[in-house]
Amino acid sequence: MRPAFHHGVWSCYYPKEREWIIVGLGRSTFPRTMFDNERVTDLRPRLPSPLQEVTDDRFARHGVRLLLKRDDLIHPELIGNKWRKLAPNLEQAAGRTLLTFGGAYSNHLRATAAAGRLLGMPTVGVVRGDELAGRPLNPSLARCAADGMRLRFVDRATYRRKTEPDTLAAVLRAAGAEDAYVVPEGGSNAAAVRGCRALGEELRGRADVVALACGTGGTLAGLAAGLAPGHGLRALGIPVLKGGFLGEEIGALQEEAFGGRRGDWSLDERFHFGGYARVTPELEAFAADFERRHGLPVERLYVAKSLYALVVLAEEGAFAPGTRLAAVVTGSPFTA
């Protein structure tokens, strides 16, 4: 694999994925020794991600085959959908400061900070809640800071208005990052959505239903577009936020990324467990049991809710006997 240097970015072309993947930034001489001994290639994603069949009575007794789409194994730090969404944005940022948004435990902020460290690229994280500013950093934000991310805490009202041009301009100015490349909260912009299309493409011919947890819906929007018409493959999203607004937002993301609705997708809104970041004792017990059964570390805020939903749906007879059901493991638990 020969790296090439364009616009301050070293990239390698991966013909199978038909994609340029960033392996370094901002040097005019590539650190060849690092590359040769494979350290820089730590950035290389494991793509396509593995698809593992597991035996689980709760599905088998309905004739359903459960497959785990292990996006959590794509990269040790840009985990799951984070790689798929961030990689195209890192490329477009081309070495500029990358500024993005998130809550105090945001997986997206941690992944962005890690990318910044790995690629030698400045990052700024705008964090919801100015009351956090005077306190010690929680483990997730401490990891972001250790990875070199500059953290800016903003009040909740400003945070809610962050997509309004004037508010965004003020946030950028206050952060001293007027020329930053801005990635929205959750990382879901058109480039990210297009980056998630490959997830659908990887599943063509290998599954009948693909299910995943949704936050912003960007991953589902891209994945669904990758399911070619005529393959009989449909996507099922499990929103982890309460509100019933996501269908419209996914439609808008597809419009922005592809010019219109794409793929066969639907949502089941029943499994948010009270809202974002709510983990009930029942959900906790379910996730711990799933971990014991299958040796899979189960991320609680998203992945656990989607797996729980699939068990219920199988019990309700939502999947015809013979269905190959792929559950996307979109992340893994954060350990400080």
Ligand X SMILES: Cc1ncc(COP(=O)(O)O)c(C=O)c1O
The DSSP string of 251-310 is: HHHHHHHHSS--S-EEE-TT-STTSTT---HHHHHHHHHHHHHH-----TTTHHHHHHHH
Contact between 81 and ligand X per CB under 6 A: yes
Q: Is 29 exposed, middle or buried (0-12, 13-18, 19+ CB in 10 A)?
A: exposed
Selected from 97, 188, 189, 254, the binder of ligand X by CB under 6 A is: 188
CA dist., res. 62 & res. 101, Å (int):
42
Query: Closest CB to ligand X belongs to which residue?
Result: 331
CA dist., res. 272 & res. 304, Å (int):
10
Selected from 91, 202, 208, 299, the binder of ligand X by CB under 6 A is: 299
Contact between 254 and ligand X per CB under 6 A: no
Q: Restricting to residues 204-223, which ones interact with ligand X according to CB under 6 A?
A: 213-219
Residue 97 CB, nearest approach to ligand X (Å): 21
Contact between 128 and ligand X per CB under 6 A: no
Query: Strand, helix or coil at 27?
Result: coil
Residue 265 CB, nearest approach to ligand X (Å): 12
CA dist., res. 100 & res. 107, Å (int):
12
Nearer residue to ligand X within complex by CB, 108 or 272: 108
Nearer residue to ligand X within complex by CB, 66 or 214: 214
Nearer residue to ligand X within complex by CB, 79 or 313: 79
Distances from the Cα of 74 to the Cα of 30, 78, 119, 165, angstroms: 24, 8, 17, 35
The β-bridge partners of 6 are 9
Q: Which amino acid is at 81?
A: N
Residue 192 CB, nearest approach to ligand X (Å): 8
Selected from 302, 304, 310, 314, the binder of ligand X by CB under 6 A is: 302
Contact mark string toward ligand X, 83..122, x via CB under 6 A: ------------------------xx--------------
CA dist., res. 196 & res. 191, Å (int):
9
Kindly list the residues in this chain that would bind ligand X in the complex (CB under 6 A).
80-81, 107-108, 186, 188, 213-219, 299, 302-303, 330-331
